[in-house]
Amino acid sequence: MSYEVNTDVERTVYLNLAGTPSLNILPASVTVKYKKAGQTSLQTMATSNSNWVDLGNGYYTLIFAANLNDVSGTFFYDVTGAGFDNTVFDQYNIIDPSLSGEQQAYFQDNPSERTFYLTKAGVPSVSIPPTNVTCEIKKAGQTVFSAKAVTSSNWINLGGGYYTLKFSGDDLSRVGNFIYKLTGPNFDNFLYDEFTILAGEDVTVKDKCVVKGEFIGLSGNAAQQIKITARMVDFPAKSSNRIVSGDTIFTFLNSDGKFEMALLRGSTVLIEVPRAAIRSQIVVPDTASANLMDLLPPFAIDFTV
């Protein structure tokens, strides 16, 4: 599950004691610890009636405030306390729309991390060295697991049986389902997990500007079936680590006479709308969106009253 950076996030947990739902658990009886992406230790979150909601029948909602979700990447949390004995921990991904896919966790070729809880005979496994951990991974499309080296640079001991394993950009080089499993002599819980690697284009990227416009006919009604085309003027060109193709892109007006077209910021583009006698070079601004009217040279005729 992914959430946008700097927003409140709600997560629901189920608490039980010896298999029976734990009722009426107060926030003062709960300890919530969390770890933002890149941190090497667990932090404690204060719980109160404003962020701990009793849904009944053993279900509770935790609210993580926007200021806790201020770092893109994996956010991990753990819930312990009196009145329940099940182990509760989970993690979610935080996405920053201002960053490109190449800069985000869980996107192709970009490093990420996962946090987990290891035990032996029900007791937390502490001080496990990386040499005692075997990790195997499987990328999308592969038919067998392959070994991943676990070292002091990618294995972080958070204390209390919690550990973080970092995955490199090479580990996450294929779009699709990524699976990993851990084994070792110091823990006996079977650790297996999976998550999806997305292509960088699947997130709003900072190098795009959405150019918008609206056309009307001589009658004053919305124009119909008008084609707008755009193509780069200067080549060769690149954006981050991607090469820009020379293909012409196009779109048509919708039923309201409006259009939107995503273009690379800073690019010089030839815009053509033959049915409106428009053939002009524009420079795409470094903004999230822009009105085509503001990018074109002055019009020879203006019917504005």
Number of domains within the chain: 3
Q: What is the pTM of this model?
A: 0.62
Say if residue 195 is in the same domain as residue 231: no
Residue 140 lies in a domain: yes
Say if residue 179 is in the same domain as residue 266: no
Mean pLDDT of 272-298: 92
Give CA torsion, residues 8, 12, 17, 22, to 10 deg.
Answer: 90
Say if residue 166 is in the same domain as residue 225: no
Give the residue from 40, 64, 96 where a domain finishes: 96
Give the residue from 78, 96, 114 where a domain finishes: 96
Give the residue from 176, 203, 230 where a domain finishes: 203
Residue 300 lies in a domain: no
Q: Which range has the worst mean pLDDT, 6-10, 99-103, 255-259? A: 99-103
Phi and psi for 99 in degrees, rounded to 5? -105, 150
Highest averaged pLDDT of the listed ranges 121-130, 190-199, 220-229: 121-130
185-210 residue pLDDT tens: 999 988 888 888 877 654 445 678 88
Sign of CA dihedral 186, 189, 190, 191: negative
Residue 303 lies in a domain: no
64-92 residue pLDDT tens: 999 999 998 899 999 999 999 998 999 99
Mean pLDDT, all residues of the chain: 89
Is a pLDDT exceeding 90 seen at residue 272? yes
User: What is the model's pLDDT at position 256?
Assistant: 81
Say if residue 90 is in the same domain as residue 160: no
What is the chain's length? 305
Domain that holds residue 259: 208-295
* C-beta separation of 125 from 188 below 8 A: no
Say if residue 159 is in the same domain as residue 191: yes
Residues 6+ positions from 178 with CB-CB distance below 8 Å: 137, 138, 139, 140, 167, 171, 172, 194, 195, 196, 197
163-188 residue pLDDT tens: 999 999 899 988 888 999 999 999 99
Question: CATH number for the domain including 42?
Answer: 2.60.40.10
User: What is the model's pLDDT at position 53?
Assistant: 96
